[in-house]
Structure 1
């Protein structure tokens, strides 16, 4: 048997290739949209990818199952659990097998048993894997998707918070408790292969270790320590981070399907600063992907800064309007990686891009913003010249914040501009300075110029001012 682990650090997403070397067949569990890595492995190991297994309708990335179906003719193995709202659509033209609790299917000498594990979502399933290529007659591991993570479990509130499905949080928490009771009965030696690691918004305390065992999670996973259903449900729902707004889009996309990557139109290369400035004047969204320090020192007015780093896809999902064309200012050598990140969360509407270094040099008048130290910010507040805008998450704000700070999480800022108190200088603050730089660019792009960015954020404030 062959088992390979793939990890997208931008989305904290794990996928797996499982192959039977005796028959040359393989499947991919919870595949990412860009399937190149699977193609390369299949060619290297002389395998044919015959299946794509999905543990549920994902909310945080675009599944690559349909890409695999198109490239390899792979069969989609997907859940048939849950009610009508959680059934896969537009798959009748594809080879597929609908799965329910207790179903079993074979790939070569590999046996997959289906276990319905609702809670994160109603249709969630897990796959128990048995390798019958040798003498084993019991499962060696379980692909849990967003059911059980290392040190955590899947959150049940996404349907309500991201998709607007009222009342589903408590219902999901009840289902999660029941699913975990079943999980506790599995053998301790069973390996656990989840779909996410630390940094994912699909839970609140995910570990960074790639895999675990049932026995280890029984001992140390907080969610498996509860015998009282009500106490568990309260703890599960408490303190969950804000789900990115794009999660609702992903649910729809993965339910109904998206355009194949090979069919997407090629973006236009912007030829001049004048062309870009006209796009901005016409109201188009333009992202500048430079580091915040470079952006703050000089940028084209009207552009929004989301630095291209590990957090890029997450913040792009929060901030980009999926329904409108998108234009990018970037370094040419990063083009492929940028497009891969955007496509992974379904942002396919990139209409054009330009070399940011060349464009910046052509612009007659750049804008900039000022950053201030905690001491300077404190003096502005004491003198009545400024007020703090905290753009961190709700849980971070609740754990501690600067006195009298206003709070608007950066991902929601573009839709809450009327709440920004700009009667005084707005001192934009996050935890360390990265998110406040993004927030500052959003405010500036929307005409709020009376602002400064707090260098080092709340951590620096506490360190220097002992708050």
Structure 2
């Protein structure tokens, strides 16, 4: 049997290529939208991708299953669990088999047994793998999707928080409690292969180790140690991070079937005047440069989301799916940026412009201050501090006088900030607040400062903090 895992860092997404070396057939488990690395690896190993399987309808990235069906002729194994709200709607376009609790399917001599593991979502399933081609009579491991992670379990509150379906968080938590009983009954030696690692918003305490075993999770995973259902529900729902705004759209996209990837080259804008014309038509102008470069000089109306491992997540918070996008980026980065945005279905990149061209005319900038300057400004009523951290971070402690507006919601809550001030934006370390500063200026709030080092620098100076009562 051939086995290879793939990690997409920007969304902490894990996917897997499993092949039968006797028959040359292979399957991809929980594929992401960028499928070339599966195809290239399979070709290198002398395998043909004949199938793809999904543990559930994903909310944090665009599935690559439909794309694999088109390009490789892959048969799709998809969940038939859950009610009518959890059924795939693009099945007329692909070769497929719907599977549920007790279903068994094979790829070559590799066998997959399906168990229903709801909690994260109602239709969630997991796949138990047995390498029968290698002579095994007992299973080797389980693909748990967003059910069990290393050190955590899937969050059950996304339907309520991201999709607005009231009352589903408590139901999902109780389903998760029951599903974990199935997991605990599995052999301790089984390998656990989850769909996410540390950095994903699909849980609150995911481990950075890429895989585990059932036995190790029984010993160390907090969620598997709790025997009382009410206590489990309370702890599971507490402290979950804010789900990115795009999660609700991803569920719909993956349910109805994503568009096939656009392979056309992104055109370059040779003049700043063309950028201004696009701007007048309401495009989203996305500057991906490092925050210090953006602070020193940027095109008015652009929003800065640096192209780093958090890029895709924040892009999903701020860019609407009905918006065209123009990138302020170097040519050598455009394809990688396009791939990252396509991973969450943001396909409408209409052009890019080199930074030197975009900045060839009048520019804007903002200044940075340190914590000692902040301490002085907090005594002046003309300054107003905005803390853009997550709720859990705020609950741990905050700077007295700060207004808490989580970064992902800032653009929609400008009416809540007092008028006529100079605004100081602050986060944990200074990175997210730089994005926040760019949002304020793009929305017409020009008197903006960014706090260098953020809340951590404030704490390191042993300056006073406040906590919720």
Q: Which interval holds the TM-score relative to the shorter structure?
A: over 0.9
Contact 2:56 2:121 in 1 (8 A): yes
Q: How does 1:248-287 map to 2 (within 5 A)?
A: 248-261=248-261, 263=262, 266-287=265-286
Q: Which residue of 2 aligns with 1:201?
A: 201
Instruction: Tell me the residue number matched to 1:80.
Output: 80
Once the two structures are TM-superposed, the CA of residue 42 in structure 1 deviates from its matched residue by 1.3
Contact 1:280 1:303 in 2 (8 A): no
> Are residues 1:375 and 2:372 paired?
yes
Checking the alignment, whether the CA contact within 8 Å between 1:156 and 1:172 is kept in structure 2 is yes
1:79-98 matches, cutoff 5 A: 79-98=79-98
**Which ranges in structure 1 are unaligned for 5 or more consecutive residues?**
none
Aligned to 2:37: 37
Alpha-carbon offset, residue 332 of structure 1: 1.2
Distance 2:229 2:298 in 1: 53
Q: Which residue of 1 aligns with 2:319?
A: 320
Say yes or no: does 1:62 pair with 2:51. Answer: no
Structural mapping, 1:15-414, within 5 Å: 15-261=15-261, 263=262, 266-360=265-359, 362-363=360-361, 365-414=362-411
Distance 1:41 1:445 in 2: 43
Instruction: Report the aligned-residue RMSD.
Output: 1.1
- Structure 1 Cα separation of the partners of residues 438 and 106 of structure 2: 53
Q: CA deviation at 1:266?
A: 4.4
Deviation at 1:280?
2.2
Distance 2:160 2:133 in 1: 44
Distance in 2 between the 1:370 and 1:422 partners?
A: 20
Deviation (angstroms), 1:383: 2.8
Aligned 8 A contact 1:288 1:330 in 2: yes
2:415 is the alignment partner of 1:421: no
User: What TM-score does the superposition give when structure 1 sets the normalisation length?
Assistant: 0.98
- Deviation of 1:342 after TM superposition, in Å, equals 0.4
Per the TM alignment, residue 465 of structure 1 is displaced from its structure 2 partner at its CA by 4.1
Aligned to 2:449: 452
Residue 385 of structure 1 deviates from its aligned partner by: 2.9
**Does the 8 A contact of 2:334 with 2:352 survive in 1?**
no
Residue number in structure 1 paired with 2:433: 436
Deviations 1:305-354 (A, max 9, x none): 00011110000000111111111100111111101100000001111111
The residue that corresponds to 1:2 in the other structure is 2
Deviations 1:110-149 (A, max 9, x none): 1100000000000000000000113311111000000000
Gaps of 5+ in 2: 465-469
Task: Encode CA deviations 1:70-127: one digit per residue, 9 max, x unaligned.
Answer: 1111001000000110111111231000011011011111110000000000000000
Q: Distance in 2 between matches of 1:93 and 1:451?
A: 51
